[in-house]
Amino acid sequence: MENQDTGHKRRVRYKGTHPRYFHEKYKEAQPEKYGETIEKVIRKGSTPAGMHISIMVNEILDVLKIQPGEQGLDATLGYGGHTRAMLERLEGKGHIYALDVDPIEIKKTKERLASQGYDENILTVRQINFAEIDRVAEEAGRFDFVLADLGVSSMQIDNPDRGFSYKVEAPLDLRLDPEHGVSAAERLAELSEEEFIGIMMENADEPYAKQIAREVTKRRKKGQAVKTTSELKNVIEEALNFLPDKERKEAVKKSCARVFQALRIEVNSEFEVLYDFLEKLPEVLNPGARVAILTFHSGEDRLVKKSFRELKRLGVYSEVAEEVIRPSEEECRRNPRAKSTKLRYAIKA
């Protein structure tokens, strides 16, 4: 008798007691089924693979003061944690528009929120860059509250196929929307040494920018293009080879984080996008509307602070955060990725 294919496939098992690779972490990819495993990972101060732990949720809700019946905008949907918290405050009355450019994660998040009871009657999800909030407002009307979380989601960082992390081998991509634009590898191949230095300095305050750019140029002259995350890490290690042994390991780690950040900002035009968003923001707000923006490095925070203060001076905003709000020590212990977060708010006059 011939074997019949029932269509059932055994789950891929990993060797040893803990999974080593992203694709093996089936428990973390299904948090609704393996809650105990997820909680153990979080208690250890780690973010479960494929998930994103929303930062400063309570502080954001305190700032936004959401009331049932209001209309809001989550400019950066991501994993949807902030969105869900805001939806809960609406108590089934009102509406939220949620935006994201990432075609991979937006589908997952929309399905996840729909399964939790948040369908299109209360939540509209759009794959669009948040710099185009004016287009969204043409459809939706003005908003009573707006949130923009400018951080890269943990799902993007942890997935090696996206090329966001120097810790795993992958194509050097770094695009939030991998279907459009050029990858970081392609951008790096066309930059001059001076341009790359400028990008690293402006986007990440990289102290070894000259040495790293020089090493990239040297390899390029030998026909060795930097195409993967590991190759860029190797470039940085070689560029910092002049440092004493006891300093080098930590310096390489920090420079890798900064250089990857600088290239990510460059290929996604993140400063230009934020500038456009801040410029258009007042026009999509109802009087008395509240805005909360989470930033993760000094360049972003400077742009937000400057915009808020200038628009308050002009009478557009009645109140802005004079000082940044930071996450609690407890939150930083539970989620180390929260440490660099800064929250600023503004209230429309």
Residue 226 inside a domain? The answer is: yes
Note whether 256 and 288 are same-domain residues. Answer: no
Instruction: Kindly list the distances between the CA atom of residue 273 and the CA atoms of 151, 220, 326, 338, in Å, as whole numbers in the listed order.
Output: 13, 30, 24, 23
Structure tokens at 136: 């969204």
Which domain, by its residues, includes 142? 57-154+271-348
Note whether 186 and 259 are same-domain residues. Answer: yes
Helix (H, G, I), strand (E, B) or coil at 114: helix
User: How many domains does the structure of the chain reveal?
Assistant: 2
Note whether 143 and 277 are same-domain residues. Answer: yes
Domain end point (choices 267, 299, 333): 267
Q: What is the DSSP string of 229-295?
A: HHHHHHHHHHHTTTS-HHHHHHHHHHHHHHHHHHHHHHHTTHHHHHHHHHHHGGGGEEEEEEEEEEE
Note whether 261 and 298 are same-domain residues. Answer: no
Q: Is 148 in contact with 277 (CB distance < 8 Å)?
A: yes
Note whether 336 and 202 are same-domain residues. Answer: no
Q: pLDDT truncated to tens, each residue of the chain (349 aa)?
A: 444 444 544 555 545 455 554 445 444 555 545 555 545 554 554 444 455 578 999 999 999 999 999 999 999 998 899 999 999 999 999 999 999 998 888 998 999 999 999 999 999 999 999 999 999 999 999 999 999 999 776 555 666 667 667 877 889 999 988 888 999 999 999 999 999 999 999 999 999 999 999 999 999 999 999 999 999 999 999 999 999 999 999 999 999 999 999 999 999 999 999 999 999 999 999 999 999 999 988 889 999 999 999 999 999 999 999 999 999 999 998 888 888 899 999 999 9
Structure tokens at 316: 């557009």
Backbone angles phi, psi at 347, to 5 degrees: -125, 125
Residue 341 inside a domain? The answer is: yes
